[in-house]
Amino acid sequence: MDRTHHAPGLSLRDLARRCGAELSGDGGVMIDRVATLDGAGPGAIAFLSNPKYRAQLASTQASAVIVSARDAAATALPKLVAENPYATYARVAAIFNPGESVHAGIHPTAVVAAGAQVAASAELGAYVVIGEGVTIGERARIHAGCVIGDGCEIADDVELHPRVVVYPRSSIGARTVLHSGAVIGADGFGMADDQGRWVKVPQVGRVVIGADVEIGANTTIDRGAIDDTIIEDDVKLDNQIQIGHNCRIGAHTAIAGCVGIAGSTRIGRNCQIGGAAMITGHVHIADGTIVSAATLVCDSIETPGVYTGAFPALPHREWRHVASGMRRLRTLAERVRALERKFDGE
């Protein structure tokens, strides 16, 4: 069933122009929503980006589709032809599902320090708390229950969803979005061992987040111990990610949910980190690297490529057999080395 939002219609020709796609077929067909190939009905536009769904092109009830050039001949429907159908779908979906407008003003329950500077076009929701010396940019939206500590900088068009906490002196760049429960700038995990007791190391750095970043729900980014923790422009972070102190995440990198990144790690630009990957501290990952889901990264990656460390699931009996063999690998390697020495000496 097509459950997508119905918006005022646009012709396929208009969509092609606005999205920079090639029009093929009847440009006058009216489109008012996006949908999946399987769930679309009249008035909807669907897309094909994954070859496994190509068979659904023949049965879709969509009024139009978005396809690549190699799939264009597989359907007689009116279509948008694009090099990247998924990205074109994203642009079309944004047209039919625009974000809410900013309702400028400060809710009566908000607490704003006397020394804070809040742009007149910004929106502060119920029970928002804004500390001393904070600057809030034009058209920023700070939703209910957010807390922004002293000295923070919130740039133009930033959106903080309910219950985001931004610790003092953090900086958030233009058009960045933080989802509910995100915590920016909490202390990094810095402890010094002193004869069996832990001495806390003051965390005096900041968190600096660039422009066009998106940070998922309940993701946490620790402030630097000395230098800043830096998230560069256009980084996309999923839900429930932990980023330790003094990390640097390069521009245009995307990180999926439940990833843990220990302190002082440097992740390059245009990287992709799969869900539940674990990255130990003080390592460097080269630009353009892809780390598969659940992979453990213990050493620096200097050469871009795809790196995978997860062992695929097996039936339990088979897994126990494989695990048993792996436990014997060291003994087997020692026996092989002994044999090599024996034959080398003959």
Instruction: Show the tokens assigned to 188.
Output: 């990094």
Residues that are catalytic: 245
* CATH topology assigned to domain 164-307: UDP N-Acetylglucosamine Acyltransferase; domain 1 (2.160.10)
The stretches in the chain having pLDDT less than 50 are 1, 3-4
Biggest alpha carbon distance in the chain?
Answer: 90
Segments making up each domain of the chain, as ranges: 10-96, 164-307, 316-345
Select 10-96's CATH number: 3.30.420.40, 3.40.50.300, 3.40.1390.10, 1.10.10.10: 3.40.1390.10
Q: What is the pLDDT of residue 1?
A: 43
Rounded to two decimals, the pTM is: 0.91
Q: What is the pLDDT of residue 271?
A: 98
Q: What is the pLDDT of residue 311?
A: 83
